[in-house]
Amino acid sequence: MLFDRARVAATLPGYDLGNEIGAGSFGLVLAGWHRNLQREVAIKVLAPGGRRRPFGADEAQIMASLDHPHIVRVHDFRPGDDFDVIVMEMLAGGSLSRRQREMGQEEFCAVGLAVAGALSYAHSRGVLHRDIKPDNVMFDFAGHVKVVDFGIAKRVFGSAATASAVIGTPLFMAPEQVARGRLGPATDLYALGMMLFLLLAGKAPFDGEWSDEVFGEPHLARPGHSIRRPAGIPPSVADVILRALAKDPGGRPPSAKAFAVDLAEAAADSYGPGWLGRSGIRVHLDDDVRAAAEARSVLPIAVAAATIPRTIDPGGPTAPAPNPSRSARSGQQQQQSRSHRRSTRPRFRRRGVAAAGVLLLSAVAALLFATISRGAGDTRPHQVGLLAGHTDWVTAVAFSPNGRTLASGGRDRAVRLWDVSDPFHPHQLGSPLLGHTDGITSVAFSPDGRTLVSAGKDSAVRRWDVTDPSRAHSLGAPLPVAAGYAHAVAFPSSAGRSLDGRVMASGGAAGMVQLWDLTDRAAPRPFGQPLAAHHDRVWSVALSSEGRTLASGSLDGTVRLWDVTDPALPHSLGAPLDGHPGGVYTVAFAPDTRTLASGGKDGLVRLWEVTDPASPRPLGHPLAGHSSLVWSVAFSPDERTLASVSADQTVRLWDVTDRTSPRPLGQPLVGHTDWVTSVAFSPNGRIVASGSWDKTVRLWAVP
């Protein structure tokens, strides 16, 4: 497709246009960046005269009406005279068709459950997709499955609708779709069954040759094209897929939910306990579907209860669980089938009391095992607390110097204080602190713990008296920030007690950094004029623990260091530090002030030697592990661990004991369902707090 890039840019004035990342008869897809929200997006440009352009507005409206974890989200739609533009979430994990060579049977079945969940949701809102296929199943940064391309989706009312035209991808079209018959949820299930057959068996379910170019008669009515039973697929899984491929829609599962339950049960029977977790596919399932997927793990847990050893060493060596998707199944597993399961169910029901006892024993065993394991000491980071109170994105978190209070700020314009003295049972303190007229971007405690400051997009920095966190209150009028909103605030860490919270730094939209004298909390004043620090927005500021050095990170892609020994006469130190093309989002000093960490849009974390801040230099190789921009970094108080959070929805921990050779500590911490934008260590280093656009703060125990 030839298009006028300047005209597309003019249609989307708030976005930066990137490279082309996809194309087809509909038009093309560009990478994009929303400047105000600091968010990566995909920009779909529908071609003039393209076969899909008439559906542009319908596609956007349908997608905007669907809010499901496994359906791509639409952010904006802009119609034009000769092209339309749809702005969607960026799905940088690639398509299923691209990733399928690296996947096994467990992964494919997990993807099938995710797609079935998306279809169940869409069908409940009267929407048929009509083009389910591997190309239209994609993955986001964190590996979540997303159904995309609702360009030929159809709204239906009631149980079915008539196809007005033969539209779709031939191999995946149900017989009624090819014959322009009555369409319904079963039409999409046929396509899902066909997709799973192809993925699991590696070929189409027809004898003879097949061509995607063939139109006309329904698939199963074509001479020489009879359905065949797939080889290499467990019988119970094959049964579920073949039912979805029935010629008569009435012979298919009654709903996408029913299909998901059947597939989950079959996979549990075929691949054994824990198959869904082994798949590595992140899926959001209804409770009954998840219960079916995990059903076969009940008995092994109960049996294990009778053999729990008196001493458990969870840190000791354990044999890795086999991955049945890439290894041969045992003959017994391969012979399990749905008919066998159903034949055993009446006997199980006749023993209702015994069955209930087994389930109760299983639950007790699992609880006992978890309790004993925790008592012996878990050597892996794990979530211990969840704070839910914000009504919009959580953008900032900070621990008080004594570690008993956590502050969080969000786009809902509220600062909330939490009692985290027992991180297993955190609770909110008092009422939210209100006063900002726009979203909050940063929060910080003074070293003495008596003052909390918050910065906001309302071009103000507010101060709060938190001497008694349960009765926190405002400390007067906000501090004005010149030329744009305030994005960052920082005090020296509590190691700089001699400063006693006197000096505070703020950074904002105009590339300026300001130092403030908070000696009199009721009447603060600026130290001199703002520093013209950068050519673009200052996204992060940090003060070294002894209060002598300031670091600022900007969207101009640089980090700058400043000597603030005399805050009334600050001056720059050395040349700007380059290394994050696209922008620096976070800077943080190690407590010993010898090392600075920075993270940026490139998804990397960099360490800098700043023992002599006038001659900084990079330390080792960048820390690569995140798949999207790094929003925030923080050092542990003992200086041995670095935490980083990212738009890929993960929290990562790094061993920086040897700062020339940092290494990842285990697997990423997952649980957040949207971008993770802030992170902080507790003063004792045992808890990490992370704030996310999913409106929550999570607390993680760090051994």
The 3-class SS string of 609-654 reads ECCCCCCCEEEEEEEECCCCCEEEEEECCCCCEEEEEECCCCEEEE
291 half-sphere exposure, CB direction, 13 A CA radius: 5
- CA angle (61 as vertex; 15, 123 as ends), nearest 5: 130
CA distances to 64, 95, 99, 171, 256 from 146, rounded to whole Å, are: 14, 9, 14, 21, 16
Annotated binding site for ATP: 44
Cα–Cα distance, 354 to 80 (Å, whole number) = 67
Binding residues: 44
Within 163-313, residue ranges assigned H as helices are 175-178, 185-201, 235-244, 256-271, 275-279, 287-293, 298-305
Which residues, in sequence order, are CB contacts of 149 under 8 Å at separation 6+?
131, 135, 136
Least Cα distance to 87 among 146, 9, 154 occurs for 9
| Distance of alpha carbon 653 from alpha carbon 667, whole angstroms | 8
Cα distance between residue 491 and residue 502, in whole Å? 9
Total Cβ atoms within 10 A of residue 342: 9
Instruction: Answer whether 620's CB lies under 8 Å from 663's CB.
Output: no
Residue pointed to by tokens 């890039």: 5
Cβ neighbourhood burial of 703 (10 Å; 0-12, 13-18, 19+): exposed
SS3 state of residue 414? strand
Structure tokens at 667: 């697997």
Dihedral angle over CA of 205, 210, 214, 219, nearest 10? -20
Beta bridge partners of 337: none
